[in-house]
């Protein structure tokens, strides 16, 4: 009897404990297998903001590789799907909180948000594991293939059916700890999808330790690559804080208005007067401009001269107030249109610039196929918003030109500014009150912060209930107001990088190069096997 046969018969792993663990995970069946896949996905969820426990991925992805090794592609699809459910349910549970604002009407959507949306997202993970299983044999080739197809399917998730690129694996680097901030710098080269590909690759390579003989070359090379990535990021940050724009101080207003199912004119007026009081609070004479959050003014400023006149009274001298509002085109029936809007008002009450949101939230700001789906949006206003023209750069009086984005638009890489007319900063207004004190607002802030690093531009964010703050073009949070706090924050405006980042210039081109290089190596290894 050979030593391999003896070890197999006695159940002792040939080559050590990790190969034994790998075989046991791969051989699990039934509820044990499903439980393992769910647990591994749950571990990966802990690596997402606001926790950012990145080392958990070194457990979640080797375990996933061991699960799909030795399975058919159909079995690998099931493993990836169940892993995805373990990942997305705790990562996206907060979407169901919006239904509780008007639970009497939207109770039936709670299970759809809590389980249906994660199931839809998990299909992409199942597809990724099935494809990786189909095109590459177990070993280094399969790990390379998994990283490539994972990145591709995250990109598809961000583009198909209007796209939902939330909790991408690359966002594990979006924390504020120094090593995470250094790792985040790579999005300025390959974008968040490219960083996801590299992160999956590095995190999955330790699966090779489950092979007999403990092959450590691949994991060691992965850790070396990770070290290079972190070192490059640290060098990029080593010049210290970004310079500030001289003579510009911004007041971010965070009123912390409670989200209501139904709004009234009286309620909107009370809130409007509260905003004016916050605008006048001590220090107002020292700011250049004020930023109010999404929907702060609940009536159409383009049609309400009285409201503009009231705002004009608190506009900083020679400055502007920029606020989230709605813009309406009067009319009956289909002639009526409304936009989720950012408007800037000067000291004379004049609208000096305007921006209409173009990435609308399905079922929140409009109902797809509304002609056939006869139910209301999950907002207090019962009409579909119209779509704006797309990213733009707007002039804001004494401020440098800005690239405005409203709420949900911050999640779309390379689609937040007009690259042909590069602004000096990114202006983000949002209302995350729908999601209470859940992890959703923290994730949203981390995602918006990543856009600043991708584009090399500072981000100024005013949120109704938080998190408001200012982030420089390297992703450093200079100041912020926490979730649920009410008040104002007076902050300087950092300067952007002198030129566009590689990702700002070329978008996902370098991500595509990563796909071809990594995929080519995987295919070459597959042919060699």
Which residues are catalytically annotated? 294, 357, 407
Q: Provide the H-helix boundaries in 93-216.
A: 103-106, 110-111, 117-135, 140-157, 178-184, 187-204
Q: Which two tokens stand for residue 203?
A: 């995190």
Strands lying side by side in the sheet with 351-356: 351-356, 337-346, 320-329, 289-291, 244-254, 487-494
Strands 425-430 and 477-481: unpaired
343 forms beta bridges with: 323, 354
Q: Which long-range contacts (CB under 8 A, 24 or more apart) does 210-214 make?
A: 210/18, 210/19, 210/21, 210/22, 210/23, 210/62, 210/66, 211/15, 211/19, 211/22, 211/139, 212/13, 212/14, 212/15, 212/19, 213/15, 214/15, 214/16, 214/18, 214/19
C-alpha neighbours within 13 Å on the C-beta side of residue 494: 26
Strands 399-406 and 394-396: antiparallel
Distance between CA 471 and CA 345 in Å, rounded? 24
| C-beta neighbour count of 261 within 10 angstroms | 14
Q: Is the dihedral of CA 156, 157, 160, 165 positive or negative?
A: negative
Per the CB < 8 A criterion, the answer to whether 477 and 174 are in contact is no
Distance between CA 496 and CA 473 in Å, rounded? 6
């Amino acid at each position: 009897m050979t030593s391999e046969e003896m070890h197999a018969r006695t159940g002792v792993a040939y080559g050590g404990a990790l190969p034994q663990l790998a075989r046991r995970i791969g051989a699990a069946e039934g509820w044990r297998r499903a439980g393992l896949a769910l647990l591994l996905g749950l571990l990966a969820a802990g690596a997402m903001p606001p926790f950012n426990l990145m080392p958990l991925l070194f457990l979640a992805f080797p375990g996933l590789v061991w699960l799909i090794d030795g399975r058919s592609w159909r079995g690998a699809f099931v493993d990836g799907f169940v892993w995805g459910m373990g990942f997305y349910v705790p990562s996206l549970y907060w979407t169901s909180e919006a239904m509780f604002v008007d639970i009497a009407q939207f109770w039936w959507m709670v299970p759809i948000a809590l389980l249906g949306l994660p199931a839809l997202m998990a299909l992409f993970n199942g597809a990724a594991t099935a494809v990786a299983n189909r095109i590459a044999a177990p070993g280094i080739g399969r790990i390379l293939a998994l990283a490539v197809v994972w990145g591709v399917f995250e990109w598809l998730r961000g583009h198909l059916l209007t796209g939902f690129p939330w909790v991408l694996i690359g966002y594990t680097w979006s924390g504020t700890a120094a090593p995470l901030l250094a790792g985040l710098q790579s999005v300025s080269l390959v974008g968040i999808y490219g960083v996801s590909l590299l992160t999956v690759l590095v995190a999955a390579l330790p699966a090779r330790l489950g092979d007999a003989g403990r092959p450590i070359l691949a994991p060691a090379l992965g850790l070396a690559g990770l070290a290079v990535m972190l070192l490059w990021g640290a060098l990029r940050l080593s010049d210290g804080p970004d310079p500030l724009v001289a003579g510009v101080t911004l007041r971010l207003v965070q009123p912390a208005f409670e989200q209501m199912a139904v709004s009234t004119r009286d309620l909107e007026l009370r809130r409007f007067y509260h905003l004016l009081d916050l605008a006048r609070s001590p220090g107002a004479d020292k700011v250049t401009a004020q930023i109010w959050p999404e929907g702060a003014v609940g009536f159409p400023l383009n049609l309400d001269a009285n409201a503009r006149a009231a705002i004009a009274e608190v506009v900083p001298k020679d400055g502007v107030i920029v606020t989230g509002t709605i813009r309406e085109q009067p009319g009956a029936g289909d002639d009526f249109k409304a936009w989720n809007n950012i408007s800037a008002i000067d000291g004379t009450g004049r609208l000096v610039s305007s921006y209409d949101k173009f990435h609308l939230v399905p079922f929140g700001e409009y109902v797809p196929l509304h002609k056939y789906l006869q139910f209301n949006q999950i907002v207090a206003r019962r009409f579909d918003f119209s779509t704006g023209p797309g990213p733009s750069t707007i002039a804001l009086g004494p401020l440098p030109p800005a690239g405005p984005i409203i709420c949900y638009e911050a999640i779309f890489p390379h689609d937040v500014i007009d690259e042909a007319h590069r602004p000096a900063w990114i202006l983000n207004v949002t209302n995350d009150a729908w999601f209470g004190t859940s992890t959703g607002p923290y994730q949203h802030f981390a995602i918006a912060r990543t856009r600043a690093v991708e584009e090399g531009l500072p981000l100024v964010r005013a949120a109704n209930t938080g998190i408001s703050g200012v982030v420089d073009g390297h992703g450093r949070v200079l100041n912020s107001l926490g979730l649920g706090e009410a008040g104002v924050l007076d902050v300087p405006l950092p300067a952007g990088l002198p030129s566009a980042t590689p990702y700002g210039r070329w978008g996902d081109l370098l991500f595509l190069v990563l796909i071809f290089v990594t995929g080519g190596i995987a295919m070459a290894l597959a042919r060699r096997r």
